[in-house]
């Protein structure tokens, strides 16, 4: 493990309100929640980004279970599930935000400005570049 904040929580060296912990992931309340009940799901193994995570299936099974638990346990209307990779990643340890939502809770779409493609051709050029990288 690294010496980042989340590794310290995983190791039990830093206090946290742990919601779930197993051999794959540790989930705990975000100390600066968007809404109360906002949970972070982090892989137990130290990786910085999603592309660094070896097997994604087991980790995202935990994310899926947490989204279900947040909805049921908090009687939320739904959840906002998100992650950053490098840019805007406050801790350099992969983490997924599971935020409880209610209709008209004030959270609107994404937290960043949206844009449009100038044409279908421009959109296809971006799709083609990503497709080629696969």
| Interval 52-63: pLDDT, tens | 999 999 999 999
Report all structural domains of the chain as residue ranges with CATH numbers, in order of start: 5-133 (3.30.428.10)
Residues with catalytic function: 95
> Cα 53 to chain center, whole Å?
13
pLDDT tens, position by position, for the chain (134 residues)? Answer: 457 999 999 999 999 999 999 999 999 999 999 999 999 999 999 999 999 999 999 999 999 999 999 999 999 999 999 999 999 888 999 999 999 999 999 887 666 666 888 999 998 888 878 888 87
Q: Which residues of 33-64 are buried (b: 16+ CB within 10 A; e: fewer)?
A: ebbebbbbbbbbbbbbeeeeeeeeeebbebbe
């Amino acid at each position: 493990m690294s010496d980042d904040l989340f590794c310290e929580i995983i190791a039990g060296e830093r206090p946290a309100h742990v919601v779930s912990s197993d051999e794959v992931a540790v989930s705990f309340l975000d100390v600066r929640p968007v809404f109360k009940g906002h949970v972070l799901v982090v892989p137990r193994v130290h990786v910085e980004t999603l592309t660094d995570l070896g097997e994604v299936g087991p980790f995202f099974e935990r994310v899926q279970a947490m989204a279900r638990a947040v909805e049921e346990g908090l009687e939320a209307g739904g959840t906002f599930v998100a992650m950053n990779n490098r840019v805007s990643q406050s801790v350099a340890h992969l983490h997924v935000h599971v935020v409880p939502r209610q209709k008209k809770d004030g959270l609107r779409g994404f937290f960043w400005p949206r844009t449009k493609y100038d044409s279908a051709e421009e959109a296809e050029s971006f799709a083609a570049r990503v497709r080629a990288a696969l």
